[in-house]
Amino acid sequence: MILIATAGKVGSEAARLLTQHQVPVRVLVRDPKKGEELANAGVEIAVGDLDVPESIDEAMVGITALVLVSPAVPAQELNVIGSAARAGVEHVVKATNKASADSPIARRRGQTEIEAGLAASGLAYTLLRSNAYMQNTLLLGPVIAKRSSFGSSAGKGLAGMVDSRDVGAVAAEIAASPASHAGKTYWLSGPESISNYDVADVLSRLLGRTITYQELSFDEHKSAMVSAGLPEAIAEQNAQAFSLTAEGDAEWVSDDVQAILERKARSYEQFAADYAAAFS
């Protein structure tokens, strides 16, 4: 049995794929409503709280492999890792990013702390370092639909954006057959690095109208995200990440998705076509 914590973009996709291949899978959720769609697809749902170790221990019973993909809150993910160690889990697939102990972005520093705890746990594990998710551009959907434009503090920076469905597929593949992946780190990206100007061009062709991109300052972008409803702390971290993208931080690609899945990673064109309704 594989446990997935939690049911976000990557975790939900991994759960669906494992279930389709008749692999027993359980997903840990705090809100039962968030697991309804997965339950209808045949996924076992465990209700628990990452801040409550006892509830994690209950979900960990009978688990042989763990996919750990949740908000990078060190105390919470370390609770999950501790539970996995107590339960004798054989392998952990940890979704992470470009973690760094001295990063200006709090969640990257948090990932470093979590990874250190995982390394110290004695558990076999694999790290999945993903570039920016294509799905993050769905947050721009309402603005693009209304104004046919969007802005960012990423400037002209390039990013090897990856479809979170591909990350979920990689996580599922490794969790189902982990032996050859122990101790390895994979860098997951799309097939090419693109800028927000490229995103605007793709959406313009797809939607049949001109979509424009505007370069914003850090403060302008942070303010826009707060106005859109994001908590200030999250908006600040996002603006920091985009500002680093402007400096080349995300300008990398790899063939790890293709090597593991034996197919090409989805392009932004493919992603946008699948989610066209969100921008219309």
- pLDDT of amino acid 232: 94
Q: Is 162 helix (H, G, I), strand (E, B) or coil?
A: strand
Q: What are phi and psi of 113, to 5 degrees?
A: -65, -40
CA dist 29 and 40 (Å) reads: 15
Please say whether the beta carbons of 25 and 35 come within 8 A: no
Tokens of 137: 């551009």
CA of 227: how far to CAs of 7, 28, 140, 156, in Å? 27, 31, 13, 24
CA distance 47 to 40: 15
Domains of the chain plus CATH, in order, are 2-123 (3.40.50.720), 132-162+189-251+265-280 (3.90.25.10)
pLDDT in tens, 216-254: 999 999 999 998 888 999 999 999 999 999 999 999 999
Stretch among 3-12, 98-107, 253-262 having the lowest mean pLDDT: 98-107
- CA-CA distance, 177 to 266, in Å (whole number)? 23
pLDDT at 73: 94
Residue 228: what pLDDT? 83
Task: Give the residue-averaged pLDDT of 85-96.
Answer: 98
Quote the tokens at residue 167.
Answer: 């990350």
CA-angle at 112, arms to 265 and 35, nearest 5°: 60
Tens digits of per-residue pLDDT, 32-80? 988 999 999 999 999 999 999 999 999 999 999 999 999 889 999 999 9
Question: Which pLDDT belongs to residue 88?
Answer: 97
Bond before 6 cis per omega within 30 degrees? yes
DSSP structure class, residue 64: S
pTM above 0.85, yes or no: yes
- Cα gap 191→203, rounded to integer Å: 18
Instruction: Please state, in angstroms and rounded to a whole number, the distance separating the CA atoms of residues 120 and 117.
Output: 5
